[in-house]
Structure 1
């Protein structure tokens, strides 16, 4: 990647983080003003087709594009990048496992044997956009290798979250539509593997069919994005670049500047002045807040330190423990994926969804502030 492309990517990630914050605040302002009715009417009372409103379009369809791009990124990292060998992948994978397991344990501690256990996956995720946004905002003070560690950790985190979304949060299966989805998937695999089809239009049109059948099958429709990513070529056959490259290049700006900010705007509209009472759900609030803010850093540090001590894996020589600790703080920003999972987990309770979203917002903003303060402090001490 040349310097110009690096600069554009850096600016895009930073801009995405700014847009996410701005539209989150805007949604909160609108929903605590006289304009709340317009927000609700647009997202929840405007239907594209029967039983499929604008909010569903954002969460179920547009977010499938988000997962497609995330899936392609994960696939390329596994095949050619930082996750392509055990030696390269072991340290960030173990870090990610710690960052998933410890928040789940903390949430379970507060919510075991309660009806709120369905939210256990909310605090396990890392927001790639915000995490890299923090990195790029302070990149001149940070080691370049920290970005790859942070990206690898977040990618594995997202992969785990995607698997859980497709299993834990899927409704009863419709085997007929599931069979049609698998048939489409098999056809796409054969088209890639044996016929070496490189048409972007072909994969995207078949991807629409795949999304439709997955949506009707009872599995959460966003999983179609991941499934589609698995069967899209990542190496060119005849063209200069692969279909994966073209899709990522053409959709990255749309995803970062439209889809993710729109998702934030559509899902953080909380009326704080209503009858919402956080004390009604203290276990949910504490489970998510402490799971993300404490569980993430604690899990990452414990798992990486012990695995390095026991020689299960080895810490990269160009990263010191201060940098890894800083990464663990940044990873407690769950935002996009955490909000997405809370929408699914607590779909039957508006009040629970609102509590979860407020908690995620508070945690994300707290993490960003702590990360910024730590970077400033460590920079002055010359230990990063």
Structure 2
């Protein structure tokens, strides 16, 4: 108990000093908020939740369009389109390396918000989604590894570890008031943890070569931006410019450039200069949400789901890699998430919210099997130019994600009522 209290105190001190109460970072504001009352924060979450539903529908449409065109008479022209070079990179690489950096920036801002004023801001509350996210990564990864150990396909170990927050929340939005509100918050929290885990996996396992000098340059820019934060520089301009330079250094270093987006998020001030103003972090998150949801992710879907379904596509789904992905997402996710949550609650480390039960947790785990965006992203990194393996993996991801969405909906429709 004493150890738990010490960790809790350390966690609270960290969030206070890092994200800034006014006292923690020397800025004028002395309130631990972003200039918004609790009611507007609730409205903000509701708007975020509603837009995820619309974005999910758009992603499904774009995926369907891409699949149809990729298997039509203009398939070759469509697939060649994404390989056309603009400057030093192909269009597909500009999308996956540059546009998706903005997506990762938004993930970082959402994680920062959760740590500061969301479900992860309270140490006791944070432990349950942390355990959920960890279990939802470890068990799927071990599932894939058990089927592919010692083969080139083991590079795909990170594919079934992530959760697509857009599609998961889209399913919950369709369910409406048939599920408790705290389930939506729980899914957001553990999905953010999953995405953080995916980011760490990308940095640790999918860096082909490392240029120390460029990487040091990226870190130096980040340290400078953090210093601007500590000096209470509230204009977004220097952070955006510095973030662009950091992206360039990260790209040249060999570490995937999208990580610059996450690092930038944690350099931007979360506390507001005055109590009646929104913080730079909140303003940027609000500004980016619709462009990411309705422009960047649909473009990513169009560029990365153009899968040609050859005569042997069903046979390819029985390969160890495809099975590892599918079983990891459909079985490993709900099993790992539920098991780790049960251990956390049974040992007294955490607790279930009053209006949630284990059926809700298991249903959330099923929805966690919707990998899609991040799983496809990791697939591209894991198998590089191996088009056949990439297409088979993407097909497995699409089918597993679709199945997880349907099963999660049916499960929560039956067992999800508060």
Q: What range is the shorter-chain TM-score in?
A: over 0.9
Structure 2 residue aligned with 1:299, among 330, 336, 341? 336
Whether 1:142 and 2:171 are equivalent positions in the alignment is no
Aligned to 1:17: 56
Question: What's the counterpart of residue 47 of structure 1?
Answer: 85
* Map of 1:91 onto structure 2: 128
Rounded Cα–Cα distance in structure 2 between residues aligned with 1:177 and 1:147: 40
Conserved 8 A contact 2:344-2:351? yes
- Could you tell me which residue of structure 2 aligns to residue 81 of structure 1? 118
Once the two structures are overlaid, the 10-residue window that deviates more, 236-245 or 134-143, is 236-245
Alignment equivalent of 2:73, drawn from 28, 31, 34: 34
Once residues 356 and 363 of structure 1 are traced to their aligned partners in structure 2, the CA distance between those partners, rounded to angstroms, is 10
1:78-227 matches, within 5 Å, as 78-194=115-231, 196-227=232-263
Residue 280 to residue 78, structure 1, CA distance change in 2 (3 Å)? closer
Aligned counterpart for 1:289 among listed residues 326, 331, 341 = 326
Deviation of the 1:370 alpha carbon: 0.8
Contiguous gaps of at least 5 residues in structure 1? none
Corresponding residue for 1:336? Answer: 373
Aligned partner of residue 352 in structure 2, secondary structure: coil
**Native 8 Å contact 1:65 1:255 kept in 2:** yes
What's 2:295 paired with?
A: 258
State the Cα RMSD in Å.
Answer: 1.7
Question: Structure 2: which 5+ runs fail to align?
Answer: 1-38
SS in 2 for 1:99: helix
State the TM-score, normalizing by the size of structure 1.
0.94
Following superposition, the deviation at residue 317 of structure 1 comes to 2.1
**1:279 Cα deviation after fit:** 3.7
Aligned equivalents of 2:352 and 2:48: distance in 1? 27
Distance 1:4 1:245 in 2: 14
> For 1:272 and 1:219, how far apart are their aligned partners in 2?
32
Instruction: Give the TM-score normalised by the residue count of structure 2.
Output: 0.87
Moved over 3 A (4+): 1-8, 274-281
**Residues 1:231 and 2:267 are matched in the alignment:** yes
Query: How far off its partner does 1:70 sit?
Result: 0.4
User: Which stretch of structure 1 is more off in the superposition, 57-66 or 200-209?
Assistant: 200-209
SS across alignment from 1:366: helix
Hey, what does 2:10 align to over in structure 1? none
Distance in 1 (CA, whole Å) between partners of 2:187 and 2:411 is: 16
Q: Given that residues 333 and 368 in structure 2 are in contact (C-alpha distance below 8 angstroms), is that contact kept between their aligned partners in structure 1?
A: yes
- Paired positions, count: 378
* Equivalent-residue separation in structure 1 for 2:316 and 2:309 (angstroms): 13
Deviations 1:220-243 (A, max 9, x none): 000000110110001112581111
Aligned equivalent of 1:309, options 346, 370, 380:
346
Give how far 1:137 is off: 1.4
Indicate conservation of the 8 Å contact 2:317/2:323, yes or no. Answer: no
Query: Is the contact between residue 278 and residue 355 of structure 1 (CA under 8 Å) also seen in structure 2?
Result: no
Task: Give the CA deviation at 1:72.
Answer: 0.8
Aligned partners of 1:333, 1:280: CA distance in 2, in Å? 17
- Counterpart CA distance in 1 for 2:45 and 2:180 is 15
